[in-house]
Amino acid sequence: MKLSLKDEWAVFGREVAAVLGLTNELSNSDVTILLKYLARDKQVLAYDKDVIRLGAPGEVPAPISKQDREIASLKSLMDDLNEQIRSLETRIAALRERSQKAVELKNRASALTALRSKRAAETVLARRTDTLFQLEEIYGKIDQASDQITMLRVMKGSTEVLRNLNAKVGGTQDVEDVLDSLKDEMGQVEDVGMAISQAGQETNAAAEVEVDEELDALMRENHRIAEQEAAEETKRRLDSIQTVGKADDSTANQAKDGRQTTAMQIPGPSLTEEVRTIERMSLDQGASGTPSGISDVSWNSLSREKDANATLEMS
């Protein structure tokens, strides 16, 4: 079934309104203005009184052809079949509900009538569904052929581009010549780099010799300084030892002089007389072993003093 001018544009208006999110459908005047703007100014579609066809992205759409009209007729028939199928499905559901209510009311005649109508609608629905399936298969083949045509056109264009690029390259001989020239230039770069490296190595060798000589001089200087410091340290130690020896001698002399002075300070005659007196008094010693008239403490003190005097005389 082929849509009329009014139906085709009305469908387009509804689809545009749905895409733009409009609450109201576009009128015929709005659709006419929109189609003219898109075809003439934007060049994104082509249309006539029966067909509206969008162009491929980046391409100016060609005028409507007979092939476009046949494809549009096929799509219109598919849309009509889809509408019929939806209507039949709704009718079958209503007849099923009617038959169930007739059975509940025990109305046999109404139930049979509803079931017969449902069975007829189901038969029509099956035929419409089969037809729609065949048309969708045909339309799928058409889309596939159209995609193949587009792919072939793109491949042809790509072939032309590659041909032009290969012509600019100049063939394999030119490529080989370019590669040979590139190798030669790269070899020259390597030769220059090697020459620069050798010059740098010679400069580095001379610098290394100077560095080694400077290091030897520093090591000799450090060794001389270390020997000088060791000699000074040895001298300081010897001086310290001599100073300590002199101090020890002086201390010994002072100790000897002190002992002599102590001996001189003890009154010899008085001590001797006291000792003699003690010896005489020993005749009167009692049973305790201590001379009479002298306490134990005094006797011990006198004995210690006598021993000390004897020690000093021996020195």
Q: What is the pLDDT of residue 1?
A: 34
Structure tokens that stand for 117 in this block: 């109508």
* Residue 261 binned pLDDT confidence (cut-offs 50, 70, 90): very low
Distance CA 42, CA 60 (A): 9
Element (H, E) at 61: none
**pTM, to two decimals:** 0.47
Structure tokens that stand for 102 in this block: 């007739």
Q: Are 263 and 313 in contact (CB under 8 A)?
A: yes
Structure tokens that stand for 309 in this block: 């005097």
Distance CA 119, CA 125 (A): 10
Pairing of strands 52-54, 45-47: antiparallel
Structure tokens that stand for 83 in this block: 């509408």
The residue written with tokens 């298969």 in the block is 137
Q: Which of 12-21, 51-60, 81-90, 275-284 has the lowest mean pLDDT?
A: 275-284
User: Going by C-beta distance under 8 Å and a sequence separation of 6 or more, which residues neighbour residue 88?
Assistant: 121, 124, 125, 128
User: How far does the chain reach from its first CA to its final CA, in angstroms?
Assistant: 160
Task: Taking residues 66-71, report their average pLDDT.
Answer: 86
Neighbours of 114 (CB within 10 A): 21
Question: 202 or 5: whose pLDDT is higher?
Answer: 202
Distance CA 115, CA 105 (A): 15
Distance CA 315, CA 309 (A): 10
Give the relative orientation of helices 171-265 and 296-314 as an angle to the nearest 10 degrees: 110
DSSP state of 43: -
Q: What is the pLDDT of residue 128?
A: 95
Strand ranges in the chain using DSSP code E only, listed in sequence order:
45-47, 52-54
The residue written with tokens 């709704």 in the block is 90
* Residue 280 binned pLDDT confidence (cut-offs 50, 70, 90): low
Q: What is the pLDDT of residue 273?
A: 56
Distance CA 179, CA 191 (A): 18
